[in-house]
């Protein structure tokens, strides 16, 4: 068995496919709009990464969203409203996910390189199984096909609980958890990886925390883009990410760093966040820890 990193568990939307993590945003915004309630892209991005029913409940609990719901419907949302909304969201997720199924730049090449070096490839998601199966098939046609796909349907609870990471380790037959790396683009991904005792790497460009489609990213000035990435990076570090990389193509250099730290006897549970290096965003707000 490989001495350093033995497996990488990737997130899907915003990490390996769907640049900007747009599909869930589109599905939630449209489902609420159909009920006369406006939710913003920022509202939807806050709980991103969680199982989609839990995501919906968290969204309804936001004070601004709850107020808009009451203004429109004259009462707080009921359990029946939650079930109705979730059924609609789930129906909208599949076409949205398939419309955004293209791998993010560098993802296919990174996965291929890891395999060549004996690293197993796992994955997990906030999408339900009925969405993930066709999305995985579509991504495979573009060359992105992890060894394992785990959804919240497979475990007692989705993120930030660590169960999807545990099931990846079981299905990949890889241990100990301290030799696995979780890669994602949301705070929920980071919390999941840390709860599992894994090294945790977060991505910025194309991810939910930066929250930029390709067009929105291109429209920003270089200074505004760097400020946005710095704010996203600070949130991901605060959640506990060991590393934050600018793009997924920067992951191999970070995995080399983790290999070295493992060789020196460092643990994912106790390791400090390192200083920025090539492949990690160079700007850091005052007071950020790494």
The catalytic site residues sit at: 11, 52
Same-domain check for residues 126 and 216: yes
pLDDT tens per residue across span 68-86: 999 999 999 999 999 999 9
**What's the pLDDT score for residue 285?**
32
pLDDT tens per residue across span 188-230: 999 999 999 999 999 999 999 999 999 999 999 999 999 999 9
Q: Residue 39: left if φ>0, alpha if ψ -120 to 50, beta else—which one?
A: beta
pLDDT tens per residue across span 222-265: 999 999 999 999 999 999 999 999 999 999 999 999 999 999 99
Q: Is the pLDDT at 20 greater than 90, yes or no?
A: yes
Whole-structure pTM value = 0.91
CATH classification at residue 84: 1.10.150.240
Residue 190 CA to residue 243 CA, distance in Å, equals: 10
**What's the pLDDT score for residue 239?**
96
- Geometric angle at alpha carbon 137, from 134 and 139, rounded to 5°: 110
Q: Which domain holds residue 155?
A: 7-21+101-263
Structure tokens at 91: 């129906």
Structure tokens at 102: 């293209």
pLDDT tens per residue across span 136-171: 999 999 999 999 999 999 999 999 999 999 999 999
CATH classification at residue 216: 3.40.50.1000
End position of a domain, from candidates 52, 76, 99: 99
The verdict on residue 55 lying in a domain is yes
- pLDDT band of residue 1 (cuts 50, 70, 90) is low
The verdict on residue 94 lying in a domain is yes
């Amino acid at each position: 068995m490989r001495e350093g990193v033995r497996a990488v568990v990737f997130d899907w939307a915003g990490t390996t496919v769907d640049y900007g993590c747009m599909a869930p945003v589109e599905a939630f915004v449209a489902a609420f709009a159909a009920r006369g309630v406006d939710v913003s892209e920022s509202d939807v991005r806050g709980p991103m990464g969680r199982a989609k029913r839990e995501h919906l409940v968290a969204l309804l609990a936001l004070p601004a969203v709850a107020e808009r719901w009451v203004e429109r419907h004259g009462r707080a949302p009921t359990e029946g409203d939650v079930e109705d909304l979730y059924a609609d969201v789930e129906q909208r997720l599949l076409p949205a996910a398939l419309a955004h199924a293209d791998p993010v730049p560098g993802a296919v090449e990174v996965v291929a390189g890891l395999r060549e070096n004996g690293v197993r490839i796992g994955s997990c998601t906030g999408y339900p199984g009925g969405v993930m199966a066709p999305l995985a098939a579509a991504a495979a046609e573009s060359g992105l096909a992890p060894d394992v796909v785990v959804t919240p349907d497979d475990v007692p609870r989705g993120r930030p609980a660590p169960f999807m990471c545990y099931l990846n380790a079981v299905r990949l037959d890889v241990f100990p958890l301290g030799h696995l790396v979780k890669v994602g683009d949301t705070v929920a991904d980071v919390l999941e990886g840390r709860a599992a005792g894994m090294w945790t790497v977060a991505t910025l460009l194309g991810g939910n925390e930066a929250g930029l489609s390709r067009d929105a990213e291109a429209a920003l000035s270089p200074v505004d883009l760097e400020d946005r990435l710095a704010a996203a990076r600070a949130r991901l570090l605060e959640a506990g990410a060991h590393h934050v990389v600018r793009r997924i193509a920067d992951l191999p250099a970070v995995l080399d760093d983790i290999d070295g730290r493992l060789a020196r006897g460092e643990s994912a549970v106790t390791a400090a966040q390192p200083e920025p290096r090539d492949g990690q965003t160079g700007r850091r707000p005052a007071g950020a820890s790494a």
